[in-house]
Structure 1
Amino acid sequence: MSMESGIRRYADVFAASFRDAINARGLTLARLHEQLRARGNSVSMATLSYWRSGARRPEGAQSMAALGDIEQLLHLEPGSLTALLGTTNRTGPLGPNLFPLDERELEEAVKEAFAALGAEYPDTSRELTTHSVTDVDAAGNVSYSITRSIVQSTVGTVVSIPFLEMTPGISTPAPFIEAVAGGRISARYSHPNGEVHGVLFELDVPLTAPSTAMVEWSVAYPPDYPPQRETGHAVARQCRELLVWTRFHPDALPDRIEERVETPDGSKLTELSLEGRTSVHQVRRAFGPGLLGVAWSYADGADPRNLTADA
């Protein structure tokens, strides 16, 4: 099959699924367009019509951001339409590949982790869309997280991707990192300083640039793990959409929540509110390199201020 015919086939599959999803919600294309505009997404009616007919398919950062909103508006699983696009004929703007935290010693530990896992540093893949969900237990501490990502090879062929857990300044035992879908764990490593733990996620199918794949992995924490009241996700390249969703146990709703954003331009802290909910979500488009995270505390003052970030 030629590249052109392959792209045509993926466009047809995407278009059919897009039409079915719109019909299932009983929406008109005009109404969907209005809802997208209300979210600040400027994709045109003509573009939506092209996508629905299969004449064109979403490409580029703006289109992929719109597609993420469409999946939410049509009550679809995150990434379900995006996954139907298959191979795109371009990677789009890559931007710089930078260590996401301003921690020189930590970066050296990460380089050692990559070497031990047999991975090239920096990684030649990138996350196009990532949704990271963290559950907080009744004690107010991180208990479990699961991350789903669309990854892309930016150059050559990628057969595996390292995923790391980092706790700057805090030595911890190794968390339980497991593959959920899209591949398997082929190697594990813990740095002697206890601040960097990671796995090598071997993909089901090798990715040759600019191909994409869906991957999903989970992290659980052993009983002797230090209490964690901060979570987040870090990316080394620009991510088209990054979602961090933190879900609190009903008996452990925090008194204070603070968003932390760290980029090459510096760090920014912003107070957040649950506003009657039991969870808080953060969304950034065209984000990175950097870290998007959240910390919480309680009136008794217990606030370890530890950082758990995936990279």
Structure 2
Amino acid sequence: MREQIIGRELAHVLRTGPFSAALHLAIEASGLRMEEIQTRLADQGIMVSQTTLAYWRRGRSRPERPASLRAVGALEGILGLPADALTAQLGPRRPRGRWLDHPPGTMEMAEVWSDSKGLAELLAAINTPVHNILHRVSMHDLFVIGPDRGAVTLATRAVVRATADKVSRSVFVYHNDEGEGGLPTVHPVRNCRIGRSRTDPGGEFLVAELIFDRVLGTGDTAAIEYELRFGPGALSDHYHRAFPAEAGDYLLQVQFDPEALPARCFRYSRRRENAPDQGVREVWVGAAHGAHLVDRDIAPGLVGLRWEWD
């Protein structure tokens, strides 16, 4: 089972990056020890220290010199990967200093929402650019609608995997795109606590840090749960989850009050919040008054459900 999970995550990361995560999972899948990898490289006349390999694996440095790039090509063969599988993750040589460019398969967080300027300012105020170094293995949202057709709670369970060392937190963004009821409050439920939070003057965006109960190293996972609680008047006819980076599995459940059942319900996806709906399909509201969608290998963008009351 573990081998299947690693193989699945490796296939995903080879499409999306970053290099460190791809190398780490490839080594895990191969079952080779670091000293064995170093020896096989040496057999090809390529001298790389175990420390250097560990740094590449943890994202503390990356290969850039010609000799290092030759080592990466050799690693592809040693680890049983297709040609250029790791090399393609490196891209152009990065500038010196802090690397803020987002890797393949991701978007800047503010790009996903329609009012990117206001959100970008809130994200800059918190200054925790972690979405590029956390792979969302799975997400589960439970959105509860009350008898007045208003949002009551949004309960979220998330499993994330770090693709670099010393990852201690994630960032949550909520957009009140309907402009009613104000912004919700966010509450930790399990394995996390709330750090800094910011809202914009217009009351459209809430940005909050979710601090894990431990610091993650490369390949480590965190399973966190948190809840949004809405005030009166938060009328809603849809909910979507925004994914700035590719993700694994996503389950969205919408639970309706028996006194507020919709006439019809649809699933949809969008590249950005203000983009046209794609993949629209009607979803059944069951006898237990709920609807849901399940998706896998999520592309950057939004996935959600919307409903019609009449």
For the aligned pair, the TM-score class normalised by the smaller chain equals 0.5 to 0.7
Q: CA deviation at 1:96?
A: 1.2
CA contact (8 A) 1:131 1:242 kept: yes
Structure 2 partner of 1:309: none
Structure 2 partner of 1:272: 283
Q: Which sections of structure 1, spanning at least 5 residues, go unmatched? A: 1-50, 66-87, 300-311
Structure 1 partner of 2:208: 199
In the alignment, is residue 180 of structure 1 matched against residue 127 of structure 2? no
CA contact (8 A) 1:101 1:262 kept: no
Structure 1 partner of 2:5: 58
Q: CA deviation at 1:231?
A: 1.0
Relative distance call for 1:102 and 1:294 in structure 2 (3 A) is farther
Query: Residue 158 of structure 1: which of 167, 179, 183 is its match?
Result: 167
Once superposed, which parts of structure 1, at least 4 consecutive aligned residues long, lie more than 6 Å away? 62-65, 90-94
Q: CA deviation at 1:277?
A: 4.5
Relative distance call for 1:263 and 1:101 in structure 2 (3 A) is farther
Aligned runs of 1:104-183 on 2, under 5 Å? 106-120=115-129, 123-168=132-177, 170=179, 173-183=182-192
Q: Which sections of structure 2, spanning at least 5 residues, go unmatched? A: 13-26, 30-56, 58-85, 90-102
SS in 1 for 2:122: helix
TM-score by length of 2: 0.63
CA deviation profile, 1:77-116 (whole Å, cap 9, x unmatched): xxxxxxxxxxx94899985111578666522222222222
Distance in structure 2 (CA, Å) of the matches to 1:279 and 1:130 = 18
Q: Which amino acid aligns with 2:162?
A: S
CA deviation profile, 1:26-74 (whole Å, cap 9, x unmatched): xxxxxxxxxxxxxxxxxxxxxxxxx3xx7x4521337999xxxxxxxxx
CA contact (8 A) 1:253 1:278 kept: yes
Q: CA deviation at 1:130?
A: 0.5
Distance in structure 1 (CA, Å) of the matches to 2:162 and 2:130 = 14
Q: RMSD value over aligned CA atoms?
A: 3.1
Relative distance call for 1:277 and 1:244 in structure 2 (3 A) is same
% identity of equivalent residues = 18
CA deviation profile, 1:117-137 (whole Å, cap 9, x unmatched): 231275432311001111111
SS in 1 for 2:115: helix
In the alignment, is residue 262 of structure 1 matched against residue 270 of structure 2? yes
TM-score by length of 1: 0.63
Distance in structure 1 (CA, Å) of the matches to 2:113 and 2:225 = 29
SS in 2 for 1:58: helix
Relative distance call for 1:192 and 1:89 in structure 2 (3 A) is farther
CA deviation profile, 1:158-213 (whole Å, cap 9, x unmatched): 11111011123637633111111111001111012321112111111111222111
Structure 2 partner of 1:76: none
In the alignment, is residue 294 of structure 1 matched against residue 305 of structure 2? yes
Higher Rg? 2
Relative distance call for 1:148 and 1:64 in structure 2 (3 A) is farther
Q: Which amino acid aligns with 1:194?
A: G
Q: Which amino acid aligns with 2:127?
A: G
Structure 2 partner of 1:229: 237
In the alignment, is residue 247 of structure 1 matched against residue 255 of structure 2? yes
Distance in structure 2 (CA, Å) of the matches to 1:101 and 1:282 = 25
CA deviation profile, 1:258-297 (whole Å, cap 9, x unmatched): 2221137963132323254411110111012121111112
